[in-house]
Amino acid sequence: MESTKISDVDHHRIKSNGIWIHVAEKKGQGPFVLLLHGFPETWFSWHHQIDHLASHGYHVVAPDLRGYGDSDSPPPPTSYTMFHIVADLIGLLDHFNQQQVFVVGHDWGATAAWHLSLFRPDRVKGIVALCVPFFPRDPHINPTLFFNQSFGDQLYISQFQEAGRAERGFAKYDHLSVIKKFLLINRTDVMIAPPGMEIIDDLEIPSELPPWITEEELQIYADKFQESGFTGGLNYYRAMDLTWELLAPWQGSKITVPAKFIIGDKDIGYESFSKPYIESNVMKTLVPDIEVVILDGHHFIQHEKPQEVSDEITSFIHKVASR
């Protein structure tokens, strides 16, 4: 089914950092652009942008991050820190003989893109992050404790911490229903389940699909997660505290590469996290060379507003490349 969506996309599995990573590649003659997906998605989340960027001459590579799709899924949650993910990405860049690239990330892919830019700014020409800003590291409290204290243990992030818990909840539904519950989310509040309820049970499936996604596209995701399961993706949440511990040497470090941050004004994290963070200029302090774009839309903005997102990416790349 995937081949019916995007023409001329090459698929490979590449050995990187000791595991096999699946990538979708569409070659142009221009700059190299790395596209990083979030939860619960695969490389396919970028299918609109892959076609758009390649048609503008860019060399586009969109991997399934470790734990997803056709990439390997190491069993322990400790294998999903941002250090592991960035190491995978450096291996991919080395495979393609790319010294410096543009990186675009959404959700956990945005977090990975920020950390690639933090650890190896020499390998990044510019970053476009969707929906998840670069947050400062709190030296006094780890992420799960912060989220529990701020939102309670019914926050989806808190529920995802316990090994097997979310998987048991998801298993009550078919894979397509799980995908629909997440990708079609239109609530603007932080995802907190009522007392005694799992977050997957609290998420609703709309009676009609929105115009920006098809049943066939949703089924592509469902088929992949039926093969891979959801544990790999959930392990990113379970590795947050270990990433926080290992990040201590980077306490207070800034992102020095050119950056653009794109978010929908109805994103689940916009009002609670991103808006005050942007308006207080904390983001500008941590990422001095940043442009912020707020679109009319929700969390899966590259699906919902594909042309606007694609145009924002290409305009940013053109601006940075012409400096």
Can you tell me whether residue 192 is helix, strand or coil?
Answer: strand
| Full strand arrangement of the beta sheet holding 32-36 | 10-16, 19-26, 59-63, 32-36, 101-106, 124-130, 259-264, 290-295
Active site residue 237: yes
Tokens of 173: 């539904």
- Catalytic, 107? Answer yes
Question: Rounded distance, CA 279 to CA 281, Å?
Answer: 5
- Cβ(73)–Cβ(67) below 8 Å: yes
Kindly name the residue from 107, 221, 267, 298 that is annotated as catalytic: 107
299 in active site: yes
Contact indicator for 9, 79 with CB cutoff of 8 Å: no
Q: Which one is catalytic: 59, 298, 299, 303?
A: 299
Q: Taking the CA atoms of the chain, what radius of gyration do you get in angstroms?
A: 18
Closest Cα to residue 316, out of 237, 260, 277? 260
CA 193, CA 289: separation in Å to the nearest integer?
37
Catalytic residue among 237, 270, 277, 303: 237
Sign of CA dihedral 151, 155, 160, 164: positive
Residue numbers annotated as active site: 107, 237, 299
